[in-house]
Structure 1
Amino acid sequence: MPRAGLSAGSPKVDFAIDMGNPLLNRTVDGFLKIAAVGACKVAAEDAFECLHKGSVSKNKLEQTLKNMCKEGAYWGAVAGLYVGVEYGVEKIRGRYDWKNALIGGVVSGAIISAASNSKADKIAKDAITGGAIATAVEFINYLT
Structure 2
Amino acid sequence: MPAARLPVYDAGPPCVSRAVDAFVRMGMAGVTFGAFMGSYDAVKEGYKGTGRALFVAKSAARNSLGWGMFGGAYMGLNCGLEALRRKRDWVNASAAGAITGAMVASTRSRSGIRVFGTAALFSSIATASEYLRPVQYPPTGL
Instruction: Say yes or no: TM over 0.5.
Output: yes
User: What is the root-mean-square deviation of aligned Cα atoms in Å?
Assistant: 2.3
Evaluate the alpha carbon distance shift between residue 87 and residue 61 of structure 1 in structure 2; reply closer, same or farther with a 3 A threshold.
Answer: same
Partner Cα separation in structure 1 for residue 117 and residue 51 of structure 2: 38
Partner deviation per Cα, 1:45-65 (whole Å, 9 max, x = no partner): 34567899xx95111001101
Report the CA distance between 1:129 and its aligned residue. Answer: 0.6
Structure 2, unpaired ranges of 5+: 1-12, 135-142
**1:128 equivalent in structure 2:** 120
Q: Does 1:114 align with 2:106?
A: yes
Aligned counterpart, 2:74: 82
Partner of 2:7: none
Contact 2:34 2:62 in 1 (8 A): no
Pair 1:32-2:24 in alignment: yes
Partner of 1:94: 86
AA aligned to 1:28 is V
Deviations 1:81-130 (A, max 9, x none): 10011001101110111111111101111122123342111111111011
CA 1:95/1:41 → structure 2, altered by over 3 Å: closer, same or farther?
Answer: same
CA distance 1:78–1:87, shift in 2 (3 Å): same
Between 29-38 and 42-51, the greater mean CA deviation after superposition: 42-51
AA partner of residue 37 (structure 1):
A
Instruction: Judge which range, 94-103 or 115-124, deviates more.
Output: 115-124
Q: How many equivalent pairs are there?
A: 120
Aligned partner (choices 98, 104, 107) of residue 96 of structure 2: 104
Structure 1 gap segments, 5+ residues each: 1-20
1:29 shift after superposition: 1.2
Amino acid in structure 1 at the alignment position of 2:101 = G
Identity of aligned residues (%): 24
Structure showing greater relative contact order (alpha-carbon pairs closer than 8 Å, 6 or more residues apart)? 2
Q: Please give the TM-score of this superposition, normalised by the length of structure 1.
A: 0.73
Higher strand share: 1
Distance of 2:133 and 2:23 partners within structure 1 = 20
